[in-house]
A and B are shown apart, each in its own frame.
Chain A
Amino acid sequence: MKKLLMATALSSLGATAAFAADDIKMGVAAAFTGPLESLAPPIARGAELAIEEANASGLLLGGITVSPVRADTTCIDSAAATAAVERLVTGDKVVGVMGPMCSGATTAVLQNVAVPNGIVMISPSATSPALTDIEDNGLFFRTAPSDARQGAVMAQIILDHGIKSVAVTYTNNDYGKGLSSAFETSYKAAGGTVTLTSAHEDGKADYSAEVGALASAGGDALVVVGYVDQGGSGMVQSALDSGAFDTFVFPDGMVGSALVERFGSDIDGSFGQNPAAAGEGRGLFNDMATKAGFDGTSAFAGEAYDGAALMLLAMQAAGSSDPSVYKTKIMDVANAPGEMILPGEIGKALQILADGGEVDYVGAAAVEFIEPGESAGTYREITIEGGEIKVVGYR
């Protein structure tokens, strides 16, 4: 026992020694527990991959290393998320936070921790439109597009299918409410009719009452703003069983292999979209992820890599790891002018910046930031044919 204690003490001493004075820490806050726990590990690994790449190059701010510190933000428990990130900021003294994942947790953490402490925060996956207008002192960015954009894209896709009247059901949280109201606004503005917008709770066994109300309101298609592992699929199942709707429209929370595994060709003719950029960045990142031993195609993993990379590049451009200094550089490194930077080229970008040049970070998700610091967003339009998801195009 004594030996074990000695060993532990020694190794922790060793660890402290290894991270010498010039080290900085970066928070990796993801929802490791809760409804999105399956997405969290690839997201965290994505961010850590970018950090490892910068460390390996040895070029960041004259050769300092960055170490990632993980924190669990749980997605649904804002208090837990706030406490976890508070610990990162006050305890671990991180200089920036990649995360959190869900819109609700992100809002809470931004208002309670990031803004008061002046910490830069880049969320890979918070898509609520409310985050666009939030008071952030220029500290908050996101590599995922706002759902306001997705709402507009979805409205256009539906109208292009010649469908003029739809019913909408959304999962009762920030994501569902934000996306469905953004969609409703654009759809109505473009001349469509929404017969009924009604919420559904996740995790119930029976959705026949909800579907009954939607069926009574009518509409040519049902827009399901929900999660494929949760109530979203329950609503689709119940609507199919009662013959209330044959055509469904699926936004990003629903588009996944689980959808076609469960419903197969029963939902043929349904369509939807999810954020995904076409381009070589995605392929490069997937290869890197496979080599690093995780699934790069998992939702928002590439966006997490981009988020961490952007922070590192902004530090290099500003010549400082002080959040209040480098926050102004994030927009510069994300957008033109400058040399295009793909995944795996962080070392090259750091060199260019060190030499006083400019970079235009493209990354895995074809990052193009618009004011006030969020991804412009490219969406992949899909349709379901013969029980399979087919990509129709990008918009």
Chain B
Amino acid sequence: MDFLNAIVALSNFVLIPAIAYGSQLALGALGVTLIYGILRFSNFAHGDTMAFGSMVTVLVTWWFQSMGISFGPLPTALLALPFGILGCMALVLITDRAVYRFYREQKAKPVILVIVSMGVMFILNGVVRFIIGPDDQRFADGERFIISARDFKEMTGLSEGLAIKTTQGITVVVAVVAVVLLFWFLNRTRTGKSMRAYSDNEDLALLSGINPERVVMYTWLIVAALATVAGTLYGLDKSFKPFVYFQLLLPIFAAAIVGGLGSPLGAIAGGFVIAFSEVTITYAWKKVLVYLLPDALEPSGLVQLLSTDYKFAVSFVILLIVLLFRPTGLFRGKSV
């Protein structure tokens, strides 16, 4: 019984939140890694692209809610998601036209593009706050829980509760679907193959007749879709606040670099590595250990490695370690 309680407590506070958070990071990191692989620069505007896509989704969700459209037990935001993706696609195509294309034609160095993307970041930051305001916005509706802690306790008779939020379930399912679609697209379609070819060797790809502008456009479209999905899932699961997406940039970059920049598989692995390290290192293990260990060995302290205040420091440290010992990341991406 104690063993079961320990497992349940662990799942409730570590496994489930970390899996949901990891999926959100993975989707974000996929976007960053695609840009890096194909357009060859670190896109600092990614966090705010996510914020923009989610903002459009939130606005459409509110519109649907005001018209009485709902998605049954699922959040209305899922219905609004395609509109958010379209809005975000329009945005990235406009920024590419207006900003990035100019520097691409000049064959600007990657570091210049990074600075340019920072400028785009600040502008998007302002645009999003201007439109929706800097505050928390609530747009989640439908059933809150797949299973709530209280129901779980009654069902199983265990003393620990296990809560799975609908949004956590949706996050994982949507992330899996998105990743499967992405890999199918990259590996099986003509456009996907041309994107990979362009990423591997630009000159060779050009010689074999691949149109670079098309590749760039498709990349942006995919990135917009991924960013909007990641942003909306994060907003649904936690809360939508423009500034939070800006802060999310660090763990997302950490995830992409840990996995290996340019490697989609690495981005997913990196997302989960970062999420699990953040959660497990700042978790107080006392409760789990009390269940598992014999009474004599029970810890008196909290058994917490780092206070939760240092959550973001964890991604920093992992980033440093990886850059020092394996600069190309776990999955042998491009070196930074």
B residues near A (Cβ < 8 Å) are: 9, 12-14, 17, 21, 144-145, 148-150, 152-153, 161-163, 165, 234-235, 237-241, 243-244, 278-279, 282-288, 302, 304, 307-309, 311
Contact = CB atoms under 8 A, between A and B. Distances in A.
Given A198-B308, A203-B243, 7 more contacts: A196-B284, A203-B241, A205-B235, A206-B238, A209-B282, A242-B163, A244-B13
24 contacts: A196-B302, A199-B309, A205-B234, A205-B238, A206-B21, A206-B238, A208-B13, A208-B17, A208-B279, A209-B17, A209-B278, A209-B283, A212-B283, A216-B285, A216-B288, A216-B302, A216-B304, A234-B239, A241-B149, A242-B149, A242-B163, A243-B149, A243-B153, A244-B13
B14 A212 contact: yes
Interface in A225-265: 234, 241-244
B302 A217 contact: yes
B308 A210 contact: yes
A229 to B, nearest CB: 8
9 smallest beta-carbon distances between A and B, as pairs: A243-B149, A243-B161, A205-B238, A216-B284, A212-B13, A213-B284, A216-B287, A205-B244, A206-B238
Contacts of B285: 216
A243 B150 CA distance: 7
B241 A215 contact: no
B241 A216 contact: no
A254 to B, nearest CB: 16
A241 B239 contact: no
A325 to B, nearest CB: 46
Contacts of B9: 216
A218 interface: yes
A209 B241 contact: no
Contacts of A243: 12, 148-150, 152-153, 161-163
B148 A213 contact: no
Contact of B311 (A203, A209, A211, A241): A209
A204 B279 contact: no
Contact of B308 (A209, A217, A218): A209
Contact of A242 (B12, B234, B241, B244): B12
A200 B308 CA distance: 8
Interface in A179-228: 196, 198-201, 203-206, 208-213, 215-218
Q: Is the interface of B mostly helix, strand, loop or mixed?
A: helix
A201 B308 CA distance: 10
A196 B286 CA distance: 12
Given A243-B161, A243-B163, A216 B13 contact: yes
A216 B17 contact: no
Residue of B284, B285, B308, B309 most packed against chain A (CB within 10 A): B308
A216 B307 CA distance: 13
A213 B309 contact: no
Contact of A241 (B163, B284, B288, B304): B163
B307 A198 contact: yes
Given A196-B302, A241-B163, A209 B279 contact: yes
Contacts of A206: 21, 237-238
Given A196-B302, A213-B302, A243-B163, A201 B17 contact: no
A212 B308 CA distance: 9
Contact of B13 (A196, A198, A201, A242): A242
A208 B15 CA distance: 12
Contacts of B279: 208-209, 212
A208 B18 CA distance: 10
Contacts of A216: 9, 13, 283-288, 302, 304
Contacts of B287: 215-216, 218
Given A198-B308, A203-B243, A205-B241, A217 B149 contact: no
Nearest to A211: B13
A244 B234 CA distance: 22
Residue of A196, A200, A206, A211 most packed against chain B (CB within 10 A): A206
Nearest to A237: B239
A149 B85 CA distance: 53
B304 A213 contact: yes
Contacts of A244: 13
A205 B150 contact: no
B12 A201 contact: no
Nearest to B240: A205
Nearest to A234: B239
Contacts of A212: 13-14, 17, 279, 282-284
B239 A205 contact: yes
Contacts of B311: 209
A218 B299 CA distance: 14
A217 B286 contact: yes
Contacts of B304: 213, 216
Contacts of B163: 241-243
A242 B15 CA distance: 12
B141 to A, nearest CB: 14
Contacts of A217: 284, 286, 302
A204 B287 CA distance: 25
Contacts of B278: 209
B238 A201 contact: no
A200 B275 CA distance: 19
A239 to B, nearest CB: 10
A104 B65 CA distance: 42
A309 B10 CA distance: 57
A316 to B, nearest CB: 44
Interface in A302-353: none
Interface string A364-382: 0000000000000000000
Contacts of A205: 234-235, 238-241, 244
A200 B150 CA distance: 25
A199 B285 CA distance: 18
Contacts of B241: 203, 205
A243 B159 CA distance: 11
Given A198-B308, A212-B13, A213-B302, A241 B165 contact: yes
B129 to A, nearest CB: 13
A167 to B, nearest CB: 11
